[in-house]
Amino acid sequence: MSQEFYRVFRDGPFLQSTLELTIPTAADAIWSIEELHTKSDALHLLQRLYGSGISRHGEQYLFGDYQYLYNEHGTSYTQHHPMMELAYELVRLYRFPTLPSRFTSFFGCRTLAEAQHFRRSYSQGRGAIHRVTCEQHFSADMTYLHMGAGLPSTMVVAERYWSGTASPTPFWEVLMQGPVHVLEQVD
């Protein structure tokens, strides 16, 4: 049975009627490490893990061209968001394999007020809010979406996120599984 949620489309009004997953292909920006693996190796891994497709969120983190920073010793560092997504995905695969991946999910809020709060707090006040429906979904407290103070801390907060545990100040996000039907723009 379908349930209604609210989704912020950061790029403005969404003009299609359905959000659907896309299958990773060789045309995607898949990066490889010379002499360690090929683009084809990475593509096969993605197709094995996400054979039904990935969401725009998944595309952003799996195919994003993240700029690396180098210190004076030549050691490279990357932005923390992709590493956080990877850490949470590995905890999900190991401890909660039946739950939907963030890479295959479309995100929403339970109420219009929560979607408006999300837009103000996480989308710089931009984006159109639409009412949507889907049949499969999972709710998690996005307050836990942080790299912890070290690896054990990160694993603890990732487990709490995937277990559906509420933090002292929860802000629930809905991980919707496709197809997600877009009904109307409401704000």
What average pLDDT score do residues 87-93 get?
96
- Per-residue pLDDT, 33: 76
Burial of 64 (0-12, 13-18, 19+ CB in 10 A): middle
What average pLDDT score do residues 61-76 get?
64
Distance CA 51, CA 42 (A): 13
- Per-residue pLDDT, 163: 98
pLDDT band at 72 (very low <50, low <70, confident <90, very high): low
Q: Contacts by 55-61 with C-beta closer than 8 Å and gap 24+?
A: 55/19, 55/21, 55/103, 55/104, 55/105, 55/106, 55/178, 56/106, 57/102, 57/103, 57/105, 57/106, 57/107, 58/101, 58/102, 58/103, 58/104, 59/22, 59/28, 61/85, 61/103
The full DSSP string for 93-109 is HHH-TTSPPGGG-EEEB
From the list 28, 18, 16, 85, the residue with the least C-alpha distance to 59 is 28
pTM of the entire structure? Answer: 0.86
pLDDT tens per residue across span 123-179: 999 999 999 999 999 999 999 998 878 888 999 999 999 999 999 999 999 999 989
Which of 115-129 are b and which e, b meaning 16 or more Cβ less than 10 Å from the residue's Cβ?
bbebbeeeeeeebbb
Which sequence spans correspond to the domains of the chain? 3-21+54-185
Assess whether pLDDT exceeds 70 at residue 76: no
- Per-residue pLDDT, 161: 98
